[in-house]
Structure 1
Amino acid sequence: MILYTTMPQELVYQTPVSEFGKQEIIQYEGIPLLVERDENQSYRVIQVMSTDPTHFLDGRCTPGRILTNNRF
């Protein structure tokens, strides 16, 4: 089947609800982050939730970065 659409793939093929149970919002050095917990009890940054533009430029909390529990 071919699907012709201008909508992004994330809207057409949405994430299962069970995946959202792993996500939470944490404060990392004063920066609110949306993270996903993995099986090693570390966190992978999904999104910076701050309204401060300097937080988006901080390399310590870029999306995809792995944070361990001892860093909080």
Structure 2
Amino acid sequence: MAEVKSMFREFLPKQGQLPVEGVTTMVLCKSKLAPLKSLTLEKLEKIQQATQDTICQQEMAEKEHQQITD
């Protein structure tokens, strides 16, 4: 049989661990919790809160203006 040349060379490290393919092991990693609110929902809530604050400020200004004119 003819030997097939590969474009990859075999490499064996002289230090450290040798990777072994085909062996699966458990890997412990830090758990990641999904946010309860999406970013879009948080942005919408901020916009709504800003709008409510603006309306409240306008109402307070109108009340003060009415008290001054009375």
Using structure 2 for the length normalisation, give the TM-score.
0.17
Which has the larger strand fraction? 1
Of the two structures, which has the highest relative contact order with CA contacts closer than 8 Å and spacing of 6 or more? 1
Structure with a larger share of its residues in helix: 2
Structure with max Cα Rg: 2
